[in-house]
Amino acid sequence: MAIGPREGSVLWASPSCAEILGWPPEALVGSNTWSFLFHPEDVAAGGRLAAAMSEGDIIAWVRFRTPDETRRWYRADVIERNGLVIAAFRRENDVTLQHFHTIPRNR
C-alpha cells in the first residue's frame, strides 16, 4: 500500500512494497509515482486515471518499473479520501499480461 496526494509524491509506503513491487519503502517515499514507477508510455494515461478517480474509487491496472528495470503489470485498488490517494497492491495482483485500464467502483 502507498499513500500520497493525487500529484503523485509518495508520503508513506508499506514495508510490503519491497516484497510485492521490489522497492523498499524508503525508495518510494518522496518519489513522484508517475515518473519513478510508471512506464513512460503510461504517464500520458495518468489523466484518464485521475479523471476516473474523480468519479469514485477505482480498480486500475498499471505497469510499474522494478529495480532490475523490467516492467510488471499490477492491479491496484485506488481510493481518494481527504485529498490523499491510497493505492493497495497485493502479490496475487501481478497481472503482467493484462492491459492498462480502469473500472469504476461504487464507493
Beta strands per DSSP E along the chain: 2-5, 12-13, 58-65, 71-81, 84-88, 102-104
Closest-CA residue to 2 (of 16, 41, 61): 16
At which residue does the C-alpha cell 474523480 appear? 54
- As a whole number of Å, the end-to-end CA separation of the chain is 18
Top-confidence residue, 14 or 75: 14
pLDDT, tens only, 11-66: 999 998 888 888 999 999 998 877 777 777 777 776 777 777 777 888 887 788 88
Question: Cβ distance 45 to 100 under 8 Å?
Answer: yes
Task: Compute the distance between CA of residue 15 and CA of residue 27 in angstroms, rounded to an integer.
Answer: 11
Q: pTM surpassing 0.85? A: no
Question: Cβ distance 58 to 14 under 8 Å?
Answer: no
C-alpha cell at position 99:
492491459
Give the pLDDT score at 107. Answer: 47
Give the pLDDT score at 13. Answer: 93
Task: Compute the distance between CA of residue 58 and CA of residue 70 in angstroms, rounded to an integer.
Answer: 25
